[in-house]
Amino acid sequence: MTTTVLVTGGAGFIGSHAVEELLAHGERVRVLDNFTTGRRENLAGVTEAAGVAGRSGYAGDLEVVEGDVRDTATVAVAAAGCDRVLHLAAIASVSRSFDDPQETRVVNVDGTANVLAAARAAGARRVVLASSCAVYGTTDALPVPEAAPPHPESPYAQSKLEGERLCRAACTDDPNAGTDGFDTAVLRFFNVYGPRQDPSSDYSGVIAIFMDRLARARPCTVYGDGHQSRDFVYVKDVVAACRAALDGRAPGGGPLASGPQASRPLVAEPINVGTGVETTLHDVLAALAAASGREPVVRYAAAREGDIRRSRAACERAAELLGFRASTAFREGLAATWEWYLSTAQARAR
């Protein structure tokens, strides 16, 4: 029997890549997106990339529900008949979370509560939550393990941590959780980059912003001294982790079983999704110069509130529970992203 996967935020940067991957592997997908930051053209494009015949720009196995995770009735409609849920919809901007902490909380916390409730009511067997390495805050433990005490330093990070707690509570409240009932998985994404990341958005990562500035021969602004580091993980690798969490994997990556019991119970145990490699902003600029053949002009500004100094993921738990390891080298992913950026910039210019 064919089942349906709900992807909230499925028209966004990570979401559209997840939809593409799921369609390419024969899944039926339903997207819930309010198109505030997600783009319809992302969904129109994934059907061709996935090799699925489309109608009105959408694949026959792709449904789209336009709506907001804050609306309980809309979320219930979107979740109806879905077997699994990938919950990506969120306000993902640290700076915006300081400007409007209440909206951040309503979307990221109340929205997650709505998704969990609707998924359980629909009889879904698993919800995969996109959380963030921001929950760790500044830590001396590098690479940072999932057992590190959380120390959120922004309303955004706090909202993600509260979303994780809702996932744990959803499992705890269900006597069947972790066996043949309702289950949740929590993926703590590190710094995701890749094609379709909008450099003009408040939610953009530094790589997309640097590419935009470089392509337009404008200075790249570094907030701080440039020695701050991140664990940059390519979007295709992130999607592979999401799919493993949705499907269930045994140690070593093989499927546990077939059919509705294929998921290994994860009961909201947090799992880092990163590379285990620490890359400074100076390293990013050097790699971007090599990929583009252009030398960035760099300006420095004061460090921003809520920015973490160093970040690097411990990846053993992802390998153990999901059979997942990131496979895209940073320079390889950066070159592919630059190529995509130039092609889309040229298309926009025509």
Kindly report, residue by residue over 184-215, the tens digit of the pLDDT.
Answer: 999 999 999 999 998 876 556 899 999 999 98
Alpha-carbon distance of 124 to 180, in angstroms, equals 11
324-345 pLDDT, tens digit per residue, is 999 999 999 999 999 999 888 6
pLDDT at 55: 38
Q: 202 or 102, which is more confident?
A: 102
Query: Could you tell me if 66 and 43 are in contact, meaning their C-beta atoms sit under 8 angstroms apart?
Result: no
pLDDT at 339: 94
Q: 191 or 44, which is more confident?
A: 191
- Does residue 46 carry a pLDDT above 80? no
For 290-318, what is the mean pLDDT?
92
Residue with tokens 């958005």, as numbered in its chain? 201
Q: What is the mean pLDDT of the chain?
A: 88
263-299 pLDDT, tens digit per residue, is 457 889 999 999 999 999 999 999 999 999 999 999 9
- Does residue 1 carry a pLDDT above 50? yes
pLDDT classification of 54: cutoffs 50, 70, 90: very low
- Does residue 20 carry a pLDDT above 50? yes
For 70-92, what is the mean pLDDT?
97
- The pTM assigned to this predicted structure is 0.90
pLDDT at 171: 86
Query: Could you tell me if 256 and 117 are in contact, meaning their C-beta atoms sit under 8 angstroms apart?
Result: no
Please report, as a single letter, which amino acid is at residue 196. R
pLDDT classification of 306: cutoffs 50, 70, 90: confident
Q: pLDDT exceeding 70 applies to what percent of the chain?
A: 85
Give the strand pairing for 126-132 and 82-87. Answer: parallel
Q: In terms of C-beta density within 10 A (0-12 exposed, 13-18 middle, 19 or more buried), how is residue 197 classed? A: buried
For 1-7, what is the mean pLDDT?
84
pLDDT at 178: 54
> What are the phi and psi torsion angles at 154 (to 5°)?
-150, 160
Best CA proximity match to 233, nearest among 154, 313, 303, 160:
313
pLDDT at 164: 98
- Does residue 69 carry a pLDDT above 70? yes
Set 58, 136, 156, 234: catalytic member: 156
pLDDT at 22: 93
- Does residue 173 carry a pLDDT above 70? no
In the chain, the domains with their CATH numbers are: 4-192+233-276+310-327 (3.40.50.720)
Query: Could you tell me if 334 and 287 are in contact, meaning their C-beta atoms sit under 8 angstroms apart?
Result: yes
- Does residue 349 carry a pLDDT above 90? no
Residue with tokens 């994404």, as numbered in its chain? 189
pLDDT at 250: 39
Query: Could you tell me if 112 and 71 are in contact, meaning their C-beta atoms sit under 8 angstroms apart?
Result: no
For 51-75, what is the mean pLDDT?
76
- Does residue 52 carry a pLDDT above 70? no
Long-range contacts of 205-211 (CB under 8 A, 24+ apart): 206/230, 206/281, 206/284, 207/232, 207/284, 207/288, 207/334, 207/337, 208/337, 208/341, 210/284, 210/285, 210/288, 210/296, 211/288, 211/292, 211/337, 211/338, 211/341
pLDDT at 256: 39
For 216-233, what is the mean pLDDT?
94
Which two structure tokens, joined as six digits, stand for 140? 């001396």
Active-site residue 136, yes or no? no
Residue 125 CA, distance from chain mean position: 20
Alpha carbons within 13 angstroms on the beta-carbon side of residue 117 total: 14
- Does residue 224 carry a pLDDT above 80? yes
